Every structure is written in structure tokens, then in C-alpha cells.
Amino acid sequence: MLRRISIRTAAAAGLAAAALTATTVAAATAQGATAAPTPSPHTQQIEYFTGAGGHPRHTTVPASKPLSRSEKAAIAAGDGDVTPIVQNGPVDKKLDVVVIGDGYTADQQEDFHADARAKWAKITAVEPYASYTGLFNVWAVDAVSNESGVSGDPTQDVVRDTALDSAFFCDGIERLLCLDTGKVESYASKAPAADLVIVLSNSAKYGGAGYNDVSSQVGYDGIATASSDNDQSDQIAVHETGHSLGKLADEYDYGKPGTYTGPEPKEVNLTTLSADQMTSQQQKWYRWIGQESPDGGQVGAYEGGGYYQYGLNRPTENSIMRTLGREFNLPGREAMIAGFYRYASALSSPVATDRALRRGDRIRVTAPASAQVKWYVDGRERKAARGRTSVVPRTLGVPADGRGHTVTARATDRTGAVRDPALRKLLSGALSWRVAP
């Protein structure tokens, strides 16, 4: 079954509106902190990046106008060809990423496909993506532009006619790369399924953005924008998926005095508690405290995060949720893996489960490298087949006795990157096939 758009994209949970309640923002502002802007019904909140290796910032920009019926019809009837970039299984068993290009003319669509492949390769070089590439499908959606490139590149006075209206210098900020979110939704809906949306704008200029305030307008959580040919722009997409898939909060502050006095944040990577309090109360990332983290140093409680200098603690000194170009810390990796499994299953197969097989048919399955696959015949495990990803019912032990039998595969991801028992329940999957007499 194909999923309708249910996009959890590049700037959803974890930005200011999601990370902190209106009460705590107001309280912080009263104490002198610079809280993230609160959008009005006619504006959108955006996270942007002023330079590689720097802390992100927030601003609000005018909301895209809803598309007219004729505009929607034109997009529906026009371009929007879909090309599979990565296919690892059925859309109901995988996390489906939709990549849309902007600023590519009709003659440049193959260039867009190459850029999409290259950008996805860089994103999936980052852990935990690198260990879970098999959980993803990637679809490229063609959006044909009348002109090549995007507005604001190289200077603010440059205007180009593109399918999604990508433009640098959005809100007067050079590196802020905005677009028309209504047009993005129309193109994204052409893909077989979408859980994550990334827009590549045809440019080598550093820049991008994360939209987190589009759900009321276009029906999904957010969009990541990144320039296609900049070596650092993929880090923007990785950071934003920390919000959308991992439900992680930003771990940076705005560098101005201000103390958080609100309730305990819901995000797993921010807390009002000290390391000792987390341990004694068994809260937040207590299972990771004292462990060496891939982003450097030990997991503990480091003051500053969620846009506040004081009153909130983060797990490590400097993860990718604080500064681009860094790694996810250990609690962040665990949250990202949980996000992957909210959409994808630990087990998938190209062999349909809704039709009967013969004893001589081959059954193939795929699972992450950290998962163990077990096989069962009529509910009894065949231990000799443990770990195999391909079996034949006859050699698995299905008897030729004139009766139907059931072959089941179960996979459980035993990764050490997840310590929360509640999350481990997501890390398993099973498939069954009926073997005809």
C-alpha cells in the first residue's frame, strides 16, 4: 500500500515553537534572552545557516501564498517525472526521501539526478545514516525551470525564473535560501510516498534553510533546502533531519544572557537536570553518561542549549545539533535510529507475502547489518538458518506432506547505539509466507 504524504522533514520538531512552550519563551524574553521568533499566521519560521561550521539562527519570513486552482492544475498536468535514486524495498517498509530540484532546465534534469545521488551519498556518510542506508528509498522529482540557477546568486539583484522560486538573500539574509512551499508540496505529492523532503537548488553558493512552520499551509512538518553544488550544504540537511526524524532540539544558544525557567523540555537532548540528577532519577540520557561520544568528549550535562545560555543542559560539548560539521552525540544517534524505525521496518523482502509459494521457491529478505535474522516453520525456529537472508522452504525443512505450511522470518536489530528498552521495541520486524501443499 502506498503512503500518502506524511512528511517529517528537515525542520520540524525541535525548533523554537516545538521545543519550548509559549510560556517559557515569554519568560526568557522577559529575562533578556533572545528567543526564536514566533511566526504570525502570515509568516513562516525558518532556521538558517550563516556559514559552514557556525551555529544556526532563526527568522520569520512571509508565508507562501496558497496556490490557485489553475496553478495546482498546471503542476499536476505538467512536469514532475519521478526517478528512483535508491530502491531498497516497498514504500510501507522503508523511509521514503523525496528530493526535488529547482533551477534546473529541461536539458539539465540528468544533472539534477546526479546531484541528488551525490548529495544523498554525502548525507548517508554521516552516522547513523551510514549504518542504516538500507532502510531508505530515495525518489527524485523533476521540476523543470525556465532558467538555470537560482535568484540571489551571486548577488541580490540577480533574478531567475525557476519552478520553485528558490532565492538567496531571503529576508535580506544572503545565505538564507527560501522557496515557495506550496509548489514544493505539489511536486512532492507526485512521488510514490514521502516521509522526508529535500529541495536542491542549482547553485554552488553556500546556503540553505529549514522550514518548521508549514504544516497548517501544506499539510506536512517542514522542508530542507540546500544548494546542490556546495560541499558543505549537505550538513544543513543532516542537521534539519535531527529535528524532523530525531525530534531533537537545537543545542546552541544565542550568546546573550538569559536563563530558562520553564518545565522540563520534551526533547531527549535537553534537560534542566544535572548529570547526577539524571542518574539518580533515571531520566533523559542517564544511560549514556560518562560514555565517550563520537562528537568528542564524554556524555554529561553541559550548560547552554535550546537558545538559552543558562538553565538548560545538553549531552555533549559540541554535536551537529549545535554546530554544523560535527557528529550526532550518543543520545542523538539513538534518537535518529528511533526516527528511522518510525517509518521503516527492520525486515523487508521483494517476495510478496500475499501469494502462496512452492517448496522450491527462494525467499530473500533484507535487514540492517546489526540485525539478526531468524527463520521459523509453523512457529518453530530453524536454528541452522539463523543469520541467513535467503532460504528455500524445502531446504528450510518444510515437509512435502500434502499440507500447507507457514515460513516466517524475524529480524531484531541488536545495535549497541540504542539503550532505551522502550525504543528497542521498534527495532524488530517479521514477515510470513504461506507455502502451498
pLDDT in tens, 76-133: 777 899 999 999 999 999 999 999 999 999 999 999 999 999 999 999 999 999 999 9
Distance separating alpha carbons of residues 431 and 156, to the nearest angstrom: 55
Distance separating alpha carbons of residues 175 and 152, to the nearest angstrom: 9
Neighbours of 279 (CB within 10 A): 16
List phi, psi (to 5°) of 366. Answer: -125, 145
Radius of gyration of the chain (CA): 23
Q: What DSSP state is assigned to residue 67?
A: P
Domain 16-244, classified CATH 3.30.70.3270, yes or no: no
Residue 216 has pLDDT above 60, yes or no: no
Q: Supply the DSSP string of 213-240, one letter for each residue.
A: S-HHHHSSS-EEEEETT-TTTHHHHHHH
pLDDT in tens, 334-362: 999 999 999 999 999 999 999 999 999 99
* Three-state secondary-structure class, residue 310: strand
Looking at residue 213, what is its pLDDT? 56
Distance separating alpha carbons of residues 386 and 396, to the nearest angstrom: 11
pLDDT in tens, 154-177: 999 999 999 999 999 988 999 999
- SS3 string, 121-165, reads HHHCCCCCHHHHHHHEEEEEECCECCCCCCECCCCCCCCCCCCCC
Looking at residue 215, what is its pLDDT? 47
For the chain, give every residue range classified as CATH 3.40.390.10. Answer: 16-244
Proportion of the chain in helix, strand, coil states, percent, rounded to 5: 25, 25, 50
Residue 66 has pLDDT above 80, yes or no: no
Looking at residue 257, what is its pLDDT? 75
Neighbours of 173 (CB within 10 A): 18
Those residues whose C-beta lies under 8 Å from the C-beta of residue 231, and which sit 6 or more positions away, are none
Give the DSSP H or E segment for 56: strand 56-62
Are the C-beta atoms of residues 140 and 85 closer than 8 Å to each other? yes
As a whole number, mean pLDDT of residues 282-289 equals 98
* Three-state secondary-structure class, residue 292: strand
Looking at residue 42, what is its pLDDT? 74
How confident is residue 52, by pLDDT bands cut at 50, 70 and 90? low
Looking at residue 26, what is its pLDDT? 32
